[in-house]
Amino acid sequence: MNNINSIKQKSFKFINEFDSTDKSYYIINITVKELIYSDGKLYYDIGYKYEFNGVETSRNKIHPFNQTTYIDELYFEGVVVYKNKMTEIMTEYLLAEPEELSKVSGLSTHQYYRTTIITNLARLWD
């Protein structure tokens, strides 16, 4: 059995960053639950819900997992990861406002950086 310590939610708009004429987009709703398991260990239960708007040919181009062929589609809905210093900062950046994330993402756009966080969290499933 586990208990929920906290819940944080944010929504972000993902666009086609390679085609400014494409008006298609996703609204991605992210929920991060901090869980404490019966053994006292802490985990993040991260969930994603997607709302697509636009032309069907753009659906896969904009999806955060579009360039990742080696992550099972099971993780597209979310993932549970062990809480440690690295996953703590990853979830903080995952939920950061675009302007704040741009300050720490170097030359990457905030959307690309958030996409990288999403896919890397899927690789850390526990």
Q: What's the domain count of the chain?
A: 1
Where in the sequence is the domain holding 85, given as residue range(s)?
Answer: 2-123
109 band by pLDDT with thresholds 50, 70 and 90: very high
Contact 34, 44 (CB under 8 A): yes
Beta pairing, strands 42-53 & 78-82: antiparallel
Whole-model pTM? 0.90
- Helix 110-123 with 85-94: angle, nearest 10 deg: 140
**Which tens digits make up the pLDDT trace of 44-71?**
999 999 999 999 999 888 988 876 555 6
**What would the mean pLDDT of 27-38 be, rounded to a whole number?**
96
